[in-house]
Chains A and B, each alone.
Chain A
Amino acid sequence: MRSLVKTVIVLGLGFVLAGIPCANPAPAASKEKPIKIGFIHTMSGAMSMYGISSEAGAKIAVKEINAAGGVLGRELELITRDDKLSAETGLREAKDLVLTEEVDFLTGTISSAVALAISSYVEKEKKIFIVNISQSSQITEEKWNPYVFRINTNAVPYWGYAPAIALGKTWKPKKIISLGFDYECGKNSLAAFKEKYLELVPDAQIIDELWAPLGTTDFTAHIAKIANSGAEALFLACVYGGGEIAFTKQAFAFGLYDKMKMIQPCAGDVETWSDVKQGDPYPKGALATCRYPFWAIDNPKSKAFVEEHKKMVGFSPSYGAMNEYVAIYALKKAIEKVGAVDTEKLIKTLAGIELDTFVGPVLLRAYDHQAMMPNWYGIIEFTPDLPFPHITNPQIIGEEGYHTIEQIKNLRK
């Protein structure tokens, strides 16, 4: 019996392996070859919500475009791969997409490590890569190459300049303490925040900088230290996702939201808080930035997008979904302008193109291929019309949130 089972297993393995050459079916000869877009994101594990949402955003765009006749008569085809939040896996999938599936474009990524890895790869392979979430400013600044585009805000405005500008316009605290995840994004975001805020409020001080290992969900010790630090305000550097929810609960339990001013940039992103109801701990009164306040955007296209996304995956769209939607349409616009899928010509067209977003046209800056996506900021509260906590009275920060071209030139030297 046992040897029979073993035989079956070995034969099964052999069968699977033999079937590999037959695994990739030949494309339909009758239709025009589709334009293939390789989508790499985190589809499993702790950050998979963003991957699933971004994929939905891309799928909605692809569906709409194909229904309207495609691009230059060709259908768009989206091929999804999971990078498992690992740069090694992401790079491997990118290679496979380019070499086996022969995709024309690559898009996606949430992890900056994955984005940087794929970015260096596409330079060699000469394929366009559009980043929709990865935040690290290095992607479009120090480590940039012409094949990379980013249609998203980046760490500089989102985690640094925008909260600093917002803080400078509202509370202007003098003694600030910071807490961040201990990795590159955290360090850089604090540096950007400090730089901008001390420029606006020169006599302010960051009295201490606390760090927690990336992915921690227990901040009790840090919070105890913060509560006893004598600071007026707390700045959270790159604490997002599950860690942020845990932090909020723990800080709420310590009464921190009543004791000091909280600057919690990521609290504005609804996908983290959509499960939180009145009465649960939430970032009460915190100053937050948001990348897609869909409840405040009075645009029928945006509303339709939100509904379609909810139907597809069961939750409200993240900014990643919106960015992918904009990215796919941007590709369509550029390809139609150029008249062909010619990478070099497309790069020239995309650089400086006007993106059609839900809040009007947004420039895709030519120098660094960074879209000047707006950041909204506001104070987190519950309002009667929505079940989840969100930024109230949102103000917008546009291009002034980003590094200027001069600053980037200096960084690239």
Chain B
Amino acid sequence: MTLEAALGQVLSGISLGMVWFLIAAGLSIIFGTLKILNLAHGSIYMLGGFLCYQVTSAFSHVPGVFWLALLVAPLVTALVGGCIEILLLRRIYGLDMIYQYLLTFGLILIVGEVCKIIWGAGYNTVAVPWPLNDTVNLFALSFPKYNLFLIGMGVLVFVGLRALIGATSLGAVVRAVTHNREIAGALGINVPRVYTGVFMLGCWLAGLAGTLTPPMSVVALGADVSVIIDCFIIVVIGGLGSISGAFLGSIILGFTTAFGLYIIPKLAVAFGFILMIIVLIIRPRGLMGVSD
């Protein structure tokens, strides 16, 4: 393998991983704090993609419309998340896991069908925004600028999240509620509001991922179901509830997918599940998760 080839694979793996990280981080935070396994997280991601398309096509005469979409779409998905949390999820906290699983599964069906009704069944495209519609030359490899931008966004969000949760007082509140809901409540923290906030943050992240993907891909139905399993794998490997774990897990899965091409293409699909099983057996809290 030449240097260019290796570099190409490494960068592809990381840029793929970064989009996954955004979704998985949201999933992980939601599980860590709310203790809910949100199957519908992929649906929020897909909704973000459709909203991105909606904004870019409705305001296509506005220059830099993609950046507008990047601002607006995640906010809308965060709002949708807020509604879901207040109206539905609040009633099932503390219940058996099966009910959470089935409720969020019901949400997958509902959100998917609503997207189909509003946006139809075809493929929708979003253009790569200026100034990223170009390639960069790294040694003899030309790599798209937009993918480098994705990598940058992933790192930025990772640093931002770590700072938010780890270094701000708001983050301290979230950490307190994650650690022990009862005592946090007893200390006067408005736990339901924190729960809503965290869920909205998770949905904002999923919406962000959904908005960042379309320029390099396509907006279509079915993304909700296909992405959620990959994110489960990442979150398990990294550790449920850990942002750094989600980051590490995304990079690992991105690498195995990229390099799996060279080694055993046939089994590439199963790699993720095998890794997931190994982690669950040897170290169920994942690489960086907190022990339960």
Q: A interface vs B, CB < 8 Å? A: 44-46, 48-49, 52, 182, 210-211, 213, 215, 217-218, 220-225, 227-228, 241-243, 245-246, 249-250, 253-255, 271-272, 275-276, 279-281, 315
Contact = CB atoms under 8 A, between A and B. Distances in A.
A48 B226 CA distance: 17
A242 B123 contact: yes
Enumerate the 10 nearest inter-chain pairs by beta-carbon distance, A residue then B residue, closest first: A224-B8, A253-B144, A48-B121, A221-B258, A220-B12, A46-B222, A221-B12, A228-B5, A246-B217, A245-B218
B83 interface: no
Contacts of A52: 121
Interface string B202-214: 0000000000000
A272 B5 CA distance: 31
Secondary structure call for the B interface: helix
B141 interface: yes
Contacts of A221: 8-9, 12-13, 16, 257-258, 261
Contacts of A279: 127
B9 A254 contact: no
Contact of B124 (A227, A275, A281): A275
25 contacts: A44-B116, A49-B123, A52-B121, A182-B266, A182-B269, A210-B265, A211-B266, A213-B269, A218-B217, A220-B12, A220-B216, A221-B13, A221-B258, A228-B8, A228-B141, A242-B218, A243-B218, A246-B218, A249-B128, A249-B215, A253-B216, A254-B143, A272-B123, A280-B125, A280-B127
A225 B16 contact: no
B121 A224 contact: no
A46 to B, nearest CB: 4
A269 to B, nearest CB: 12
Contact of A227 (B8, B13, B261): B8
B95 to A, nearest CB: 15
Nearest to B7: A224
Contact of B142 (A211, A250, A254, A272): A254
Contacts of B147: 220, 253
Contact of A46 (B13, B135, B220, B265): B220
Contacts of B261: 210, 221-222, 225
B20 to A, nearest CB: 10
B121 A249 contact: no
B240 to A, nearest CB: 25
Contacts of B121: 44-46, 48-49, 52
Contacts of A227: 8, 141-142
Contact of A255 (B2, B13, B142, B218): B142
A249 B124 CA distance: 12
B279 interface: no
B155 interface: no
A228 B144 CA distance: 15
A241 B123 contact: yes
Nearest to B127: A280
Given A218-B16, A242-B220, A228 B124 contact: no
B268 interface: yes
B250 interface: no
Contacts of B223: 217
B217 A49 contact: no
A391 to B, nearest CB: 19
A276 B125 contact: yes
B265 A211 contact: yes
B4 interface: yes
A246 B19 CA distance: 15
B11 interface: yes
Contacts of A211: 265-266
Most B CB within 10 A of own CB, among A221, A223, A250: A221
Contacts of A250: 144, 216-217
Contacts, number: 119
A249 B217 contact: yes
Given A48-B121, A220-B16, 10 more contacts: A44-B121, A45-B121, A48-B221, A217-B217, A218-B216, A221-B16, A221-B261, A255-B135, A280-B127, A281-B128
Contacts of B135: 253-255
Contacts of B266: 182, 211
Q: Name, among B15, B116, B221, the residue most crowded by chain A CB atoms within 10 Å (CB to CB).
A: B221
A204 B124 CA distance: 38
A222 B12 CA distance: 9
B195 interface: no
Nearest to B14: A220
A222 B116 CA distance: 30
Contacts of B143: 224, 254
B50 interface: no
Contacts of A220: 12, 15-16, 147, 216, 258
Q: Which of B5, B142, B217 has the most CB of A within 10 A?
A: B217
Interface in B37-76: none
A387 to B, nearest CB: 14
B122 A225 contact: no
A13 B9 CA distance: 54
A213 B261 CA distance: 11
A352 to B, nearest CB: 37
Nearest to A228: B5
Contact of B222 (A45, A49, A272, A275): A45
Give the residue among B16, B125, B128, B258 with the most A Cβ atoms within 10 A: B125
A215 B2 CA distance: 29
Given A241-B123, A253-B128, A275-B123, A225 B8 contact: yes
A182 B266 CA distance: 8
Contact of A224 (B5, B128, B226): B5
Contacts of B2: 228
Contacts of A46: 121, 220-222
Nearest to B215: A249
Nearest to A256: B142
A275 B268 CA distance: 33
B9 A225 contact: yes
Nearest to B13: A221
Nearest to B132: A253
A272 B218 CA distance: 11
Given A44-B116, A221-B257, A253-B146, A49 B122 contact: yes
A255 B142 CA distance: 8
